[in-house]
Amino acid sequence: TDSVAILLINRINIFQNKMRLIEDKISYVDSVNFEILAQLVMVENKIVTLANSFTEMYDLKGSKSSAKISSKISPIEYKKTYIDALSDYQNGDYNKAIDGFSGLVLSDPNNDLADNSQYWLAECYYTMKNYKRAVMEFEKVFSFSGTDKDDDAQLKLGHCHRSMGNYNKSREEYQRLIDYFPGSEFYEKARESLKQLSTK
């Protein structure tokens, strides 16, 4: 009986040691979980702060641009700003070019270069692969009476929809160029693009 008692005591001790190990592991896991939770809260706070700073920056930019737009600039200044914005586009500084072109369109939509500014504004978004926004901006080109950028914009509308995978809409836009701009330098390009889409 003594040997049985000793055996039982040994087993109890083994179980107690195992229990202690399990408890130690549980407390470790709890502390790790708490640490992860604390880090998550910290990251969340950083995201909120970052989002707020972006909102503030956006609001500041908005107020600045509206102040700039309210005063109509002279034709000479308009042309200079247009050339600068075009230069920014060519140098790949698309955001700066967008600021320049959009400012010009809003400042004086009746200026001779306003339709060109609108077209190049759309081109910036197209080059940045923001096709949805580019479609919106290219469509605005047609609101300028007597524009010579209408067939350019029409071709790019086809390209935008093709890039977004809207093949039916893309066909419609290319066909519209063929129907409404038969003398356009982009006529053959539109026909070729339509031919390429026949396999889609």
φ, ψ at 149 (rounded to 5°)? -105, 10
Sign of CA dihedral 60, 65, 68, 70: negative
φ, ψ at 92 (rounded to 5°)? 80, 10
Q: Which residues of 177-192 are buried (b: 16+ CB within 10 A; e: fewer)?
A: bbeebeebebeeebee
Lookup: tokens for 99: 């600021």
What does the alpha-carbon distance between residue 46 and residue 43 come to, in Å, rounded to a whole number? 5
Helices (H) and strands (E) in the chain, counts: 8, 0
DSSP state for residue 73 in the 8-state scheme:
P
102: CB partners within 8 A, 6+ apart: 65, 117, 121
pTM here is 0.65
Residue 85: the pLDDT is 94
Amino acid at 147: T
CA end-to-end distance (rounded Å), the chain:
88
pLDDT tens by residue, the chain, 200 residues: 556 566 667 667 776 777 777 777 766 665 555 455 445 444 443 343 334 323 323 342 443 443 344 357 899 999 999 999 999 999 999 999 999 999 999 999 999 999 999 999 999 999 999 999 999 999 999 999 999 999 999 999 999 999 999 999 999 999 999 999 999 999 999 999 999 998 76
